[in-house]
Amino acid sequence: MATLLTPDICVIGAGSGGLSVAAAAAAFGVDVVLIEKGLMGGDCLNYGCVPSKALLAAGKAAFGQTKSPQFGVFSRDREIDFARANDHVRQVIAAIAPHDSQERFEGLGVTVLRERAKFTSPDTLAAGNHEIRARRFVIATGSTAFVPPIPGLDQVPYLTNETLFDLREAPEHLAVIGGGPIGLEMAQAHRRLGAQVTVFEAKQALGNDDPDMAAIVLGALRAEGIEILEGTAVGGIRKTEGGVLISAETSAGRTLEVAASHLLVAAGRVANVDGLGLEAAGVDHDGKGVRVDKGLRSSNRRIYAIGDVAGGLQFTHVAGYQAGLVIRSILFRLPVAMNNDLVPWVTYTAPELGHVGLSEAEARKKYGGRVKVLTADYDENDRARTEGETTGRLKLIAGPGGRLLGADIAGAKAGEIINLLSLALSRKMTMKDLAGFIAAYPTLGELVRRAAISYYAEAPANVWVRRLIGLLRKFG
């Protein structure tokens, strides 16, 4: 007979969002059941953000040797041990894992079940030999790599983010299907660690970002020897003695073939909804995931969904943000609403690519001629020059009254600078605010102030400003 549990909240999925909900609720003394069928920490810790950034760091260290002569530092031997780089990835995961572990959450008072979860009715869920009837449920099951229906793909060995970090030897030639953030980050990491890399993108690489900023990043990647084939759709794949042979067609109708030793599929993500019994729970869902309102509630008012499984922006920090909203709604009955306009994102290539708020195109569509685009180039920043990181640009989108509407950055530390602009956007700051803060010298953060000051570039030539100065001068 199944054991009946009646917690206040039942969370399905122990990734970033689910863990945040469970920890916050437990801190308030709320009875929580957390269910996870796989690894604690979810995709981010085990297959996503953490291992990918660790491998990028290894690639950066290797690439640094090629740049060292410009600083007067010479290395006789440039040797890359890919297995050691993989060890670094594993060590980073192991160092973070205790924070996400079952033991820690049980210590917080959370009941953790390592089982598959399936709804059996609108208010009941089964997990192993347990039956859970909770006041509220939170689905936080995340997403997995989308495998496109390419002829022959199911007949060849291929990698996804869940298997890529198991490699102990550098691929001789890594082919990547998908020119989005995941595909390009891993393309650069492996290129810097010794692999030849070819990226296939059916449309435009980094197509969700500002085209000007994306062009800066793509130019840098190509300069490192990564072949990025945009407007090139993969039409078929077959196994060869040395790996795979990829057939593709360009937008101009030209057919090409590329032989590679390894294949990485990075063509997007699909929400993990299969097997959850959502039909029995009365939860509407589609190919993008669970359908939710602005308050992250599903069609069943008892059930919320957060993170990748809720569709929308698929970032770890979005799951954390949504977890906070759900806690406010469940525990305090406060009205909450997801605001995508405040969500920043970063692609961690070198140079990095960061964005927050409205794009230039979105801002012009909404505000027309009242939009000003302000820029500052890295090669005019003193800190960028000292570091030899002069490739890049910052762009601020200013609306009526000089209010910050959005920002894009391509360049070193873009992910750090975008945090300042995310705060400025959330507090509805203007160019006056951004031009008025004191930036430590020399820092890359000065780029923000420099761009904001340019909002007033026409003021010295304004006839009324000159007349005012002249009038004030007469008073002594």
Query: In 333-413, which ranges are continuous DSSP H helix?
Result: 360-367, 382-387
Mean of the pLDDT values across residues 379-388? 97
Which are the contacts of 253, defined by CB distance < 8 A and separation ≥ 6? none
What pLDDT score does 72 carry? 78
How far is 138 from 386, CA to CA, in rounded Å?
49
Residue 462 has pLDDT above 80, yes or no: no
Report whether pLDDT(408) > 80.
Answer: yes
Element (H, E) at 395: strand 393-398
> What is the CB neighbour count within 10 angstroms for residue 148?
13
The residue-averaged pLDDT of 188-198 equals 98
CA distance 451 to 402: 12
- Contact (Cβ atoms closer than 8 angstroms) between residue 42 and residue 32: no
Alpha-carbon distances, residue 276 vs 71, 273, 281, 319 (angstroms): 56, 6, 9, 19
Structure tokens given for 137: 């449920």
Alpha-carbon span 372 to 368, nearest angstrom: 10
Q: What is the pLDDT of residue 265?
A: 98
Distance between CA 153 and CA 20 in Å, rounded? 37
* Buried residues in 399-435 as b, exposed as e (16+ CB within 10 A): beebbbbbbbbbbbbbbebbebbbebbeeebbbeebb
pLDDT of residue 64: 85
Tell me which residue of 51, 61, 50, 53 sits closest to 165, measured CA to CA: 51
Task: Provide the pLDDT for residue 271.
Answer: 97
Q: What pLDDT was estimated at residue 468? A: 73
- Asked if the model's pLDDT at residue 286 lies above 90, the reply is yes
Strand partners, 408: 355, 395
Task: Reply yes or no on whether the pLDDT at 440 is more than 90.
Answer: yes
Higher local confidence (pLDDT), 1 or 149: 149
128-164 tens-digit pLDDT: 999 999 999 999 999 999 999 999 999 999 999 999 9
Q: What are phi and psi of 239, to 5 degrees?
A: -75, 140
Mean pLDDT (the chain) is 96
Judged against a pLDDT cut of 80, whether residue 67 lies above it is answered with no
If you ran DSSP here, which 8-state letter would residue 455 be given?
A: G
| Partners of 201 in the β-ladder | 230
Judge whether residue 471 has pLDDT over 90: no
What pLDDT is recorded for position 69?
A: 80
Q: Provide the pLDDT for residue 73.
A: 79
Q: How confident is the model at residue 71 (pLDDT cuts 50, 70, 90)?
A: confident
Tokens 């990226």 found at: 199
pLDDT band for position 467 (cuts 50, 70, 90): confident
* Long-range contact set of residues 232-235: C-beta below 8 Å, sequence gap at least 24: 232/200, 232/201, 232/202, 232/256, 233/200, 233/202, 234/148, 234/150, 234/177, 234/200, 234/202, 235/150, 235/151
| pLDDT for 287 beyond 90 | no
Long-range contacts of 63-71 (CB under 8 A, 24+ apart): 63/192, 63/224, 63/350, 67/388, 70/388, 71/388
* Per-residue model confidence (pLDDT) at position 470: 79
Domains of the chain, earliest start first: 3-144+270-340 (3.50.50.60), 153-268 (3.50.50.60), 351-460 (3.30.390.30)
pLDDT for 2: 85
Q: What number is the average pLDDT over the span 44-68? A: 93
- Residue 316 CA to residue 49 CA, distance in Å, equals 8
User: How do residues 302-358 score in pLDDT, each as one tens digit?
Assistant: 999 999 999 999 999 999 999 999 999 999 999 999 999 999 999 999 999 999 999
